[in-house]
Chains A and B, each alone.
Chain A
């Protein structure tokens, strides 16, 4: 079977197909009549969970050794913990609720206990509590375990994946993403580019269950998915894949080389990341720094507002791992397509133009302040810059600067160390472009977020796949805007960069250099490709 869709990232993947089933964590509170029977239901589900864990332990013991397998034994012991069990049976007894609800409540309480601990290691144990509890709940509900990803890396088939789902995936087990919905600029697409793996959208997955477990080939160059391919096709693609890897090795030879054109024009080439783990990829691809650290992943990954300590630890780790290289942290940018439950945001008709990013931060200052404090504290451990998303006015920048002054005064008073932090703003609204001369007087740098800027300038919703065909990233209006921003920035001594997807578009690299851009920040996997392009350009050659 051959299915056609649209490619969001090139490359070839060959492997088994696996369907991603959304985990139904919706637990309803139901009043029950027979308390004794309900407790028995829980006990029997718990025993089944322990049997599953015992099997996992045996499997892990053979494959990864005793030390690593031990976690499954610890999980079994957690299920036997008397405090945990008493809390569940008490709840069923006294409140007459269903077992699912009682387990979910105990899970919440015990995971909160761990999350509140000071020790970073213990904080993460909150995930273990949720893990064992979800296992019991799945058994009670009779649903299959969520991800369906086993030990072997797979081609993942899904309707669409939310950012909160993709962050929880074991990415070393994913060869490719294939989704039915989503657009070329959706988060799954961006993630695929970060991971440097092929991804397809718009593939008809209505019969996905029949494909589950079969062999598949993803052709990220032609937007094609082959299910159960014949030997000929398979060998053809295996050959292509080999050639591709050869090319990748060649690119690796560019590591350690400067980003300089044949006629000596240099530019900074940074990488975009979305989590602490991505730093490894940044270093492996030899980027000069991190041009966009999307801090919202910290918020998407947790069940509640991340604490100052948790954020501080994450920023500090990144700053330290980058060993003095620049790390530009973008403050919280949620809203629009990135929603977080605990923010309790009202549903909006038009979220892309709604309550999001800096608008939330300047309204709910306590959230913003926690983040600013964490970033300033981490600045002591490396070279951190900070930038603010969705700016439309000078007034916003002034408000932000007041808050920064407050934060610094607090840290001074508490005797906590911090360094000078370069401040900049994202230019991603047409308003910011047009007043970039005024904004430049307030900050040290501009970074253009081309994805949002294009969506707002062309009035095209980037989540709407129907509009992908008219979404022209090279639109003359966008190119003119880029030039306005570079010129206005330079007049006031700001450096100017691009951190949107467009920055990695090698058909425009020459244009960007000619416009005078100082920096490009791209997916880690694109760094060497852009470097190769830069090193083969000669800007002094006359245009033909």
Chain B
């Protein structure tokens, strides 16, 4: 399993649009991808879960990837977050 932490910089947090993009970006990888914020952990491929995190600007999230192509997933998603959130 691979993981990395990221602090949200977008002032609106993970709102509907970036949540949608994030789910799309995660869905292409065969491994499981989850996002944690504090105690909460959700499936990054499920939009209701990602939106339900309610991650706001300045909050830290942890992305975990486990399984096939986990390294590529981490690399891609980290790039995605930097560019979009």
User: What residues make up the interface of A, taking CB atoms closer than 8 Å to B?
Assistant: 67, 70-71, 73-74, 77-78, 80-84, 110, 113-114, 117-119, 121-122, 125, 128
Q: Are B16 and A128 in contact (CB under 8 A)?
A: yes
Among candidates B13, B23, B49, residue contacting A119 with C-beta atoms closer than 8 Å: B13
Bound complex: CA A71 to CA B47 (Å): 13
Q: Is B48 an interface residue (CB 8 A)?
A: yes
Indicate the size class of the contact surface on chain B.
Answer: 10 to 19
In the assembled complex, which residues on chain A have CB atoms less than 8 Å from the CB atom of B15? 121-122
Q: Binding site of B, secondary structure by majority: helix, strand, loop or mixed?
A: helix
Q: Are B17 and A83 in contact (CB under 8 A)?
A: no
Q: Are B51 and A125 in contact (CB under 8 A)?
A: yes
Q: Are B48 and A84 in contact (CB under 8 A)?
A: yes
Complex interface bits, B10-31 against A, C-beta within 8 A gives 1, otherwise 0? 0011011101100110000000
Q: Is B56 an interface residue (CB 8 A)?
A: yes
Sorted from nearest, which 8 A-B pairs have the closest CB atoms? A74-B20, A70-B17, A77-B47, A74-B16, A81-B48, A81-B47, A119-B54, A77-B20
Q: Is B45 an interface residue (CB 8 A)?
A: yes
Bound complex: CA A122 to CA B47 (Å): 13
In the assembled complex, which residues on chain A have CB atoms less than 8 Å from the CB atom of B19? 74
Bound complex: CA A118 to CA B56 (Å): 11
Bound complex: CA A77 to CA B43 (Å): 14
In the assembled complex, which residues on chain B have CB atoms less than 8 Å from the CB atom of A81? 46-49
Shortest C-beta distance, A335 to chain B (Å), equals 36
Bound complex: CA A113 to CA B46 (Å): 15
Bound complex: CA A82 to CA B43 (Å): 10
Among candidates A67, A82, A119, residue contacting B17 with C-beta atoms closer than 8 Å: A67
Q: Is B58 an interface residue (CB 8 A)?
A: no
Q: Is B52 an interface residue (CB 8 A)?
A: yes
Shortest C-beta distance, A123 to chain B (Å), equals 10
Bound complex: CA A241 to CA B49 (Å): 52
* Residue among B12, B15, B47, B49 with the highest chain A CB neighbour number at 10 A: B47
Q: Are B52 and A78 in contact (CB under 8 A)?
A: no
Using CB atoms, name the residue of chain B closest to A110. Answer: B48
Within 8 A of A (CB), among B51-77: 51-52, 54, 56
Q: Are B54 and A117 in contact (CB under 8 A)?
A: yes
In the assembled complex, which residues on chain B have CB atoms less than 8 Å from the CB atom of A84? 48
* Residue among A67, A114, A119, A128 with the highest chain B CB neighbour number at 10 A: A119
Bound complex: CA A83 to CA B23 (Å): 14
Q: Are A77 and B24 in contact (CB under 8 A)?
A: yes
Given contacts A77-B23, A122-B51, A125-B51, contact A83 B16 (CB under 8 A): no
Shortest C-beta distance, A67 to chain B (Å), equals 7
Bound complex: CA A521 to CA B20 (Å): 46
